[in-house]
Amino acid sequence: VIPKTVQVAPDSVTWELNATTGGEEPEAVQLDIDTYIDRFGILHVGTTVPVGTVLTATATSTYQPAGDTPETATATLTVIEPV
């Protein structure tokens, strides 16, 4: 998943990926090693991640051509049944 506000070139951002159960009182979900965002900004979700899990991915730029302030973008996604 690549937020539309950030153009991704290989290794141009760092990613933070969090997961919760969602709902009114969300609890943290432990992600397995098969759930990650690769160097091209593609989200890979492991088969053990439960349906309904809410994933929040935050991209922070590592290169700032216009100054010292990094650009950030966040996407929130919900895991659904495979189609």
45 close to 35: Cβ distance less than 8 angstroms = yes
Question: What gap in Å lies between CA 82 and CA 64, rounded to an integer?
Answer: 38
Residue 8, pLDDT score? 57
Above 90 in pLDDT, residue 69? no
Residue 50, pLDDT score? 94
Instruction: Enter the pTM of the model.
Output: 0.79
74 close to 68: Cβ distance less than 8 angstroms = no
**The one-letter amino acid at 23:** G
Residue 1, pLDDT score? 53
The stretch 41-46 carries a mean pLDDT of: 92
